[in-house]
Amino acid sequence: MAQVHVIDRDRADRLGEGPLWSAREDALYWVDILDHRINRLSLADGAVTSFEQPDYAAWIIERARGGFVAGIGRDVVLFDLPANTRVPIGKVDRGVAGNRLNDAKADHIGRIWAGTMPASCDQPSGAFYRIDHDGLIVHVDSPYTIANGPAIDPEGRFLLHTDTALGTIFRFDIHDDGSLGPRTPFVTFEPDWGNPDGMTFDANGGLWVACWGAACVTRFDPAGLRERSIDLPASQITSCAFAGPDLDRMFVTSAADGVDEAHGGALFEVDPGCRGRLPNMYAG
């Protein structure tokens, strides 16, 4: 069994999500969506700080030119961390007030792919968007009840995106103009696997998926075959990311909302036995 380390801090996340490794800061960022927080763990000294936001804190991604871009509520914002200030650059799901952003990743040329969902998690009113370098936001797919975990092929040939409510990870070809090919099932979860949540590729093309309800992260091989799992002491596992100078450390987020568990909402570190890839940055 892989060793699991619980990161020491003074709070649990109601809905921890979106871990992001920042090599230039030697730090891990992640969000607590429901408590409207962006969190930061310094790998140098283990210090954890958090930054309150005015709405659901869905995700945070580094900008190539410095600073961050973040999804707050339904707004995509340029985020100044030291000042904790936000400059809006666009809004998704206009006219659907009950929706919010939920998960996002940047691709190899610096575009962002981001999903939305109803805050109530109970109807397919969400969608999937591409955010271009100039801030243009383009609808690329719908509907979604719980849009989750984009994972993007390093060469940009395809991406994977999930509707957690359907228990399915979908595959889309990416066309040269940024449009997507048809939505095709890549992995359909069996009942005892939980439900697919956040995910990331490792350096060998394996897909690591956080398994909500199953207390583990699971690796699927490049063909989508389930290979192995790492068990965790919390049921609601939400996302995972590689970190550290050698990208051989994995951090895993979880959620405390709706459960009474000693480690629900904890941030975990595990040894994945492999290395990951550097996350892409937003070019806008």
Annotated binding residues for substrate? 100, 102
197 included as an active-site residue? yes
**Rounded-to-integer distance, Cα 239 and Cα 58, Å:** 12
Binding residues: 17, 100, 102, 148, 197
Q: Which residues of 214-249 are buried (b: 16+ CB within 10 A; e: fewer)?
A: bbbbbbbeeeeeeeebbebebbbbbbbbbbbeebbb
The active-site residue out of 80, 197, 248, 271 is 197
Find out whether 129 and 140 touch, Cβ atoms under 8 Å.
Answer: yes
> Assign residue 110 a region: left if phi > 0, alpha if psi is -120 to 50, beta otherwise?
left
Phi and psi at residue 20, to the nearest 5°? -135, 125
**Rounded-to-integer distance, Cα 271 and Cα 18, Å:** 19
Binding residues for a divalent metal cation: 17, 148, 197
By DSSP bridging, strand 85-91 and strand 268-270 are unpaired
Q: Would you please indicate which residues are annotated as catalytic (active-site) residues?
A: 197
